[in-house]
């Protein structure tokens, strides 16, 4: 059985169209050219906090539409609300997921 740390991650995967057409705002580089870098990859792996034993995880219906904050494995903070991912600055990230 995998250790808890291995099960507590979510991988954000941009659409193929976004990878080949969207550009990074800071470098003006197409995301496909950045996708192999450790920084890009680490920015797309979210750490999921463990649920404390004996607490209810909550239903999907209760959490739908509510914003949730996550930390990436490289320490960045993102907010996920419905199908949108926002940077910690409150701006929508340039890639659809």
Dump pLDDT digits (tens) for 80-89: 888 788 876 6
Mean pLDDT of the chain: 79
According to the model, what pLDDT value does residue 51 have? 72
Residues 28-67 pLDDT 10s: 999 999 999 998 899 899 999 887 666 655 555 566 778 8
- What is the distance between the terminal CA atoms of the chain, rounded to a whole angstrom? 29
Stated pTM of the model: 0.70
The answer to whether residues 78 and 46 touch, using CB atoms and an 8 Å cutoff, is: yes
Strand partners, 80: 68, 85
Q: CB within 8 A of 28, min separation 6: which ones?
A: none
């Amino acid at each position: 059985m995998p250790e808890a740390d291995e099960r507590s991650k979510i991988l954000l995967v941009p659409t193929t169209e976004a990878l080949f057409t969207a550009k990074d705002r800071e470098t003006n580089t197409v995301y496909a050219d950045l996708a192999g870098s450790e920084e890009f990859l680490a920015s797309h792996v979210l750490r999921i906090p463990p649920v404390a034993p004996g607490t209810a995880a909550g239903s999907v219906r209760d959490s739908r539409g509510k914003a949730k904050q996550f930390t990436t494995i490289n320490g960045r903070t993102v907010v996920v609300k419905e199908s949108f991912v926002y940077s910690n600055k409150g701006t929508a990230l340039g890639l659809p997921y």
